Amino acid sequence: MTGPDKKVADFRSDTVTRPTDEMRKAMAEAVVGDDVLGDDPTVLELERVAADIMGKEAALYVPSGTMGNSIAVKAWTQELDEVIVEERSHIYNMESTAITFISRVLPRPLVSDRGSMDPGLVEDNIKIPSVHMPRTSLICVENSHNNWSGSVLSLQNVKEIRDVADRYGIRIHMDGARIFNASHATGVPVKDYAACADSLMFCLSKGLSAPVGSLLVGPQDFIDYGRRLRKALGGGMRQVGVLAAAGLIALQKMTKRIKDDNRRARALAEKLTAHPGVVLDPEKVDTNIVIFGLDHPRYTIPDFLQALRERGVWALATRGGIRFVTHREVDDEDVALADRVFSELLS
Ligand code: TLP
């Protein structure tokens, strides 16, 4: 099946999106080769297009966002280093400890204003060179920010963090898994965000609807080393042009539609907030992720999620409550269904 399964309104994640018919056709017809040997033309094209869109020298196709982030952290750091991360970031919280397991660095989590770290606080946390302390070598930022309900970073904030990083010779990696959602929300071109970071990872497999894959972009020598790290991590794939073909369509044809997901998430938030027990400020929904608390005498969060699921509305528990994510396979009817089910359960 390539279209949405209308039996449920699946708001669990934009990762549930299945490839479009056009992607499936391109996958079937893809010209392929052995990508580990560097001769899959479809992968090479995807990497070239990705680097171009982001305004970077080179790109690396990786199986997942987690691998892209892991390669970036490993490439920019050495053991005994420290990495500044935002306290709710995906890199720090949701990658099964990859940052320490793979790179063996110390994460330094900082508080933020919905994902935007104060550049002064970042500067205060850069270690002065000392035999006693780790060396700060990398700052990671996340845009849009998953666990802050899809909040976006202003270009100003990222530029100020860039200034700090430059003063101390530190790299910046941007987890831009949903950078196109952020770009639609702020009007800042993805290239401008990417220009503030040394490297950026973005996902094809979320709102862009490709079945698999992410891209890591950055300078040529970083990507060359990243290619070796990808092999070491078991991410060297052979005739993977069959997947890259879908990725090319994701990049060339699906980025524009992301604004619909952002719009629908705001509409969903406005509806849900009207129900008793829903703790949510729709003004704080910048992109396609809606996270809200539940304060209701009849339900715990697991019970409420179960009751939703029985009525065909799927969502996930997350830090701070319940998460709904909009994407290509949920439409206005699904939003209306969620609204009706909330009325039934909470009134
Ligand atoms: N996020 C997934 C889950 O891991 C929670 C989701 O459903 O939102 N950075 C960010 C900001 C992400 O949201 C994700 C995935 C990743 C990195 C990792 O990407 P994958 O899942 O491809 O490893």
Model pLDDT, residue 320: 76
Query: Which residue ranges make up each domain of the chain?
Result: 9-16+256-346, 21-254
Given a cut of 50, whether residue 80 has pLDDT beyond it is yes
Q: What is the per-residue pLDDT across 94-139, written as a single tens digit (0 to 9) for each?
A: 999 999 999 999 999 999 999 999 999 999 999 999 999 999 999 9
Output the CA 130–ligand 1 centroid distance in Å.
35
Which residue's alpha carbon is nearest to atom 13 within ligand 1?
146
- H, E, C per residue of the chain: CCCCCCCCEECCCHHHCCCCHHHHHHHHHCCCCCHHHCCCHHHHHHHHHHHHHHCCCEEEEECCHHHHHHHHHHHHCCCCEEEEEECCCHHHHCCCCHHHHCCCCEEEEECCECCECCHHHHHHCCCCCCCCCCEEEEEEEECCEHHHCCECCCHHHHHHHHHHHHHHCCEEEEECCCHHHHHHHHCCCHHHHHHCCCEEEEECCCCCCCCCCEEEEECHHHHHHHHHHHHHCCCCCCCCHHHHHHHHHHHHHCCCCHHHHHHHHHHHHHHHCCCCCEECCHHHCCCCEEEEEECECCECHHHHHHHHHHCCEECEEECCEEEEECCCCCCHHHHHHHHHHHHHHHC
Output the CA 129–ligand 1 centroid distance in Å.
34
Output the CA 90–ligand 1 centroid distance in Å.
7
- Percent of the chain residues topping a pLDDT of 90: 97
Residue 175 CA: nearest ligand 1 atom is: 9
Residue 13 CA: nearest ligand 1 atom is: 7
Output the CA 6–ligand 1 centroid distance in Å.
25
Residue-averaged pLDDT of the chain: 97
Task: Choose one of 10, 67, 174, 203 to mutate for the ligand 1 pocket test, by most ligand atoms within 8 angstroms of C-beta.
Answer: 203
pLDDT-derived band at 3 (thresholds 50, 70, 90) equals low
Is 9-16+256-346's fold the same as 21-254's?
Answer: no
Output the CA 346–ligand 1 centroid distance in Å.
30
Given a cut of 60, whether residue 330 has pLDDT beyond it is yes
Given a cut of 60, whether residue 5 has pLDDT beyond it is no
Output the CA 324–ligand 1 centroid distance in Å.
14
Q: What is the per-residue pLDDT across 202-219, written as a single tens digit (0 to 9) for each?
A: 999 999 999 999 999 999
pLDDT-derived band at 2 (thresholds 50, 70, 90) equals very low
- The whole-angstrom separation of Cα 300 and Cα 166 is 47
CB-based pocket (< 6 A), ligand 1: 13, 15, 64-66, 69, 90, 94, 142, 146, 175, 177, 203, 205, 214
Residue 14 CA: nearest ligand 1 atom is: 7
CATH fold for the domain made of 9-16+256-346: Aspartate Aminotransferase, domain 1 (3.90.1150)
Model pLDDT, residue 1: 43
Q: What is the per-residue pLDDT across 8-42, written as a single tens digit (0 to 9) for each?
A: 999 999 999 999 999 999 999 999 999 999 999 99
Q: What is the per-residue pLDDT across 228-248, written as a single tens digit (0 to 9) for each?
A: 999 999 999 999 999 999 999
pTM: 0.97
Residue 64 CA: nearest ligand 1 atom is: 22
Output the CA 41–ligand 1 centroid distance in Å.
27
Output the CA 88–ligand 1 centroid distance in Å.
13
Output the CA 163–ligand 1 centroid distance in Å.
28
Which residue's alpha carbon is nearest to atom 18 within ligand 1?
65
Q: What is the per-residue pLDDT across 157-166, written as a single tens digit (0 to 9) for each?
A: 999 999 999 9
Which residue's alpha carbon is nearest to atom 19 within ligand 1?
65
Task: Choose one of 146, 179, 199, 319 to mutate for the ligand 1 pocket test, by most ligand atoms within 8 angstroms of C-beta.
Answer: 146
Model pLDDT, residue 319: 84
CATH fold for the domain made of 21-254: Aspartate Aminotransferase; domain 2 (3.40.640)
